[in-house]
């Protein structure tokens, strides 16, 4: 009998012996190999609603700490969780954005209508220099989505030159005239966005051909090799991945993207409320969140056929929950509140990405501030951290740590005749030899005991933190900013190499073993 099957059957026997509120987790710490890329914990900020304007970039008269017009309390909060990269300017907006409109003297920059998001007028005061200044303040690598949809090969080529070239050329002279002598050497470069939809309604065959043309002229300059990311599939469009992997030479692309949003109702016309939902709606949302496991596995399997050495990364550069906008807000601004349910989605999704770290090497939550599953909400001079923000805080120790293989036998969470796994997990070991375990209990009714065995590595001490609340609808508000916030966790007991963890209902727990 294979070792993994033996561990799984042993776990199931344990569950049958001790009831359905027990889980068995075995972690193999003997020979870690795969690195969990820190870029899995990336973020996404589009010119959409109040993400850029009134989020990062505020009125010069606003009484908050600023550098130029960049809001520094937002920067400080994101630095605390070590965001590794930031994707910009979109999203759908990227394929109508012409970068030269966003450089030079701000008062002379042409205005534009944001046709995708609310029909508002953009003054282009936040452009290339401002974005890269923000990334430097965040200590995050920029990830720029280039305009393939309404742009030209020359436009994209010149933008890369403006960003990354040294020496003497029209673009480097223009950059210097605008106040930047040295190139930024931007590494991550998206060649189009959602080219199957808002980025041009292309067929995969046409897109693959266009990618080859655009990518050819997006040059690698000395000391600044590009990591080019192809616009990949929408959810379960496996044919798109097949065609791209078949028709784009592997040496031309660093990554292939995937977009998937958890829509509570499964209906894009009426997605469901961010704050008012019952357990049946909660359960269906978690079912749809867990679909990410199937998507990553199936897209990875297609990529494996063409790229068995896994040189091309799967880049899930848009993910998160998408609900109806908050009542009374501009529907084109996609402003939604952020509940404990959303935190459970974030923890579950990050566990999935960690466990597929051999292929998933970059991901970007949509979006960072004031839009969709935001980490931060702002209201004038006030700012709050959402439950999702705290998940990234709990999980940050996984960044660039080595993935530890796990075997998990979890009880089912049952509702209306359907069942999902109640518990999910991932584990890693960092460069200092500390083991980090993240556990999520999706069950709305039951606490679960997780009998955890760490094989191949002794440990003496355990510390932990937990994020939970009384209801899955609980949110942080400007009147009560700390309702859903991590606290110290000591609900565990060690017996030799076995750690018994009492995982409360609706909770996310991070443990460190030393």
Residues labelled as active-site residues: 194, 318
Supply the DSSP string of 360-422, one letter for each residue.
Answer: EEEEEEE-SBSSSS-SEEEETTEEEE-HHHHHHHHHGGGTTPEE--EEEE-PEEEETTEEEES
- Of the candidates 418, 469, 484, 425, the one whose C-alpha atom is nearest the C-alpha of residue 281 is 418
C-alpha–C-alpha distance, residues 315 and 82, integer Å:
19
How many residues in total does the chain contain? 514
Contact 469, 449 (CB under 8 A): no
Residues 6+ apart with CB under 8 A from 76: none
CA-based Rg of the chain, rounded to a whole angstrom? 23
Neighbours of 259 (CB within 10 A): 22
C-alpha–C-alpha distance, residues 474 and 470, integer Å:
7
Relative to beta strand 462-468, strand 507-513 is: antiparallel
DSSP letter, residue 106: G
- Burial classification of residue 502, based on how many CB atoms lie within 10 Å of its CB (0-12 exposed, 13-18 middle, 19 or more buried): middle
C-alpha–C-alpha distance, residues 274 and 264, integer Å:
9
């Amino acid at each position: 009998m294979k070792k993994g099957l033996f561990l799984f059957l042993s776990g199931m026997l344990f569950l049958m012996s001790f009831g359905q509120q027990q889980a068995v987790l075995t972690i193999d710490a003997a020979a870690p190999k795969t690195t969990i890329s820190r870029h899995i914990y990336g973020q996404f900020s589009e010119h959409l609603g109040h993400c850029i304007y009134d989020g990062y970039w505020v009125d010069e008269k606003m009484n908050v700490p600023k550098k130029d017009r960049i809001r520094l309390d937002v920067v400080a909060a994101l630095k605390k969780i070590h965001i590794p990269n930031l994707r910009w300017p979109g999203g759908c907006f990227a394929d109508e954005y012409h970068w030269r409109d966003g450089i030079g003297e701000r008062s002379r920059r042409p205005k534009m209508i944001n046709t995708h998001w609310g029909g508002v007028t953009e003054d282009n005061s936040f452009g290339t220099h401002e974005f890269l200044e923000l990334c430097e303040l965040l200590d995050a690598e920029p990830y720029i989505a280039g305009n393939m949809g309404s742009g030209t090969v020359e436009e994209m080529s010149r933008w890369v030159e403006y960003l990354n070239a040294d020496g003497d050329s029209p673009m480097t002279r223009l950059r210097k005239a605008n106040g930047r002598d040295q190139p930024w050497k931007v590494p991550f470069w998206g060649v189009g966005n959602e080219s199957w939809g808002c980025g041009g309604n292309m067929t995969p065959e046409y897109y693959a051909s266009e990618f080859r043309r655009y990518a050819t002229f997006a040059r690698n300059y000395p000391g600044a090799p590009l990591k080019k990311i192809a616009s990949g599939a929408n959810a379960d469009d496996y044919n798109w991945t097949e065609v791209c992997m078949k028709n784009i030479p592997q040496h031309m692309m660093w990554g292939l993207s995937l977009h998937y949003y958890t829509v509570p109702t499964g209906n894009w016309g009426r997605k469901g409320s961010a704050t008012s939902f019952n357990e049946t709606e909660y359960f269906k949302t978690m079912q749809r969140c867990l679909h990410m496991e199937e998507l990553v596995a199936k897209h990875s399997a297609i990529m494996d056929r063409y790229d068995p050495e896994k040189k091309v990364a799967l880049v899930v550069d848009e993910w998160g929950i998408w609900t109806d906008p908050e009542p009374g807000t501009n529907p084109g601004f996609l402003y939604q509140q952020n509940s404990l349910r959303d935190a459970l989605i974030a923890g579950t999704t990050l566990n999935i990405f960690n466990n597929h770290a051999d292929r998933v090497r970059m991901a970007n939550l949509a979006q960072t501030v004031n839009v969709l599953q935001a980490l931060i909400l702002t209201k004038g001079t006030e700012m709050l951290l959402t439950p999702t923000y705290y998940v990234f805080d709990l999980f940050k120790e996984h960044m660039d740590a080595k993935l530890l293989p796990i075997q998990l036998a979890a009880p089912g969470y049952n509702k209306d005749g359907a069942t999902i796994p109640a518990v999910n997990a991932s584990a890693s070991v960092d460069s200092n030899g500390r083991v980090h375990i993240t556990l999520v209990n999706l069950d709305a009714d039951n606490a679960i005991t997780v009998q955890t065995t760490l094989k191949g590595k002794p440990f003496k001490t355990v510390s932990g933190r937990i994020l939970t609340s009384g209801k899955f609808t609980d949110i942080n508000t400007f009147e009560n900013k700390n309702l859903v916030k991590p606290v110290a966790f000591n609900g565990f007991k060690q017996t030799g190499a076995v750690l018994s963890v009492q995982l409360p209902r609706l909770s996310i727990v991070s443990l460190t073993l030393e």
